[in-house]
Structure 1
Amino acid sequence: MSEVNLFEVEVTDDADDPDGYRTSYARVGALIGAEALGLSVYVIRPGQSICPYHYEIGFEEWLVVLRGEPTLRTPDGEQRLRAWDAVFFPDGEAGAHKVTNATDEDVRVAILSNKGDPGAAVYPDSDKVGIWPPNKLFKLGDAVDYWEGEL
């Protein structure tokens, strides 16, 4: 059995994250050898968010607040969460979410999801879809007919 303490696991910064989305994280699932489920711990600094408002296609996610009081945006609006709150995000539009730290103290959360390739997420605020791999983002307005270029 592999074991990691979610309160003590060392997190690293992503130097590519722009202001507003600067967080630190640890890919806990990878650390302990998980293959079908992913678990990440994020430390969200004051005034920062984990990622833009989005929803997954083909994946479910759970958010568990470990420390602090993040603000959660969903299709139902915004709400303040607190330590030990757990939220489920279903596959598709109903699972859209954004986690932001609007407080003056760091927030620590864990996110659990099923894994697989390819992964896809839709970003409603910016009208984009991302596909991983190949790690590409596209404007939804650029959609073409299924048969375009085939006939």
Structure 2
Amino acid sequence: MASPHLIHAEDVPWTELAHGSRVALKRKQLGAAAHGRKLGCSLVELPPGRRSWPLHYHLGNEEAVYVLSGTGSLRLGTETLPVREGDYVALPPGAECAHQLINDGPEPLRYLCFSTMEAPDVLVYPDSKKVGVFAGAAPGGDKAARTLMAYLPLDAQVDYWEGEEP
């Protein structure tokens, strides 16, 4: 008898993400396909010359990356570090672990990306100076369960009482 919690990567379809000439990747959301609730896992393939998601860090969720094949660079906080097959990177919440993978090697960079799937979560994007706010479902989670998702400029602040009746 098959279980909905046991899947094979070959049976999970690739989804593609691309933005401009720098960001492009394919991923298989293995955790979601196996009906995971609190732990996400994606198989990611990053083509040569491309970057993963924009540089970001989480305030609520922790991520980790395990490199399966290929070589590249990891922007981590204020450093850029080489990564290769067998490397594991822990990415706890906070600015010191702002991260982005870059494939500056000659072949696809394949890795597993793990994430806790807690909501709410806040993501900060240092390069573009914006913030993402998620409630109801974590980033990468069930969009139908999401009750709030907003991306805002970091300087979009108002006074607590603004717009309230006196």
TM above 0.5, one fold?
yes
Structure 1 position 17, deviation (Å):
3.3
Amino acid at match of 1:123: Y
Q: Which residue of 1 aligns with 2:91?
A: 89
Q: How does 1:50-129 map to 2 (within 5 A)?
A: 50-129=52-131
- Answer whether contact 1:11 1:41 (CA < 8 A) is retained: no
**What is the deviation of 1:131?**
1.8
Q: Percent identity?
A: 31
The answer to whether the Cα contact below 8 Å between 1:54 and 1:124 also exists between their aligned partners in 2 is yes
Runs of 4 or more consecutive aligned structure 1 residues displaced over 6 Å after TM superposition:
none
Over aligned residues, Cα RMSD in angstroms? Answer: 2.0
Higher relative contact order, chain-length normalized (CA < 8 Å, sep 6+): 1
Which structure has the larger Rg?
2
Matched positions, count: 150
For structure 1, list consecutive stretches of 5 or more residues without a partner in the other structure.
none
Corresponding residue for residue 31 of structure 1? 33
Query: Which of 14, 17, 20 is residue 18 of structure 1 equivalent to?
Result: 20
- 2:153 is matched with which residue? 139
- Unaligned runs of at least 5 residues, structure 2: 135-145
How many Å apart are 1:9 and its aligned residue? 6.5
Contact 1:14 1:22 in 2 (8 A): yes
3-state DSSP of counterpart to 1:65: strand
Residue number in structure 1 paired with 2:51: 49
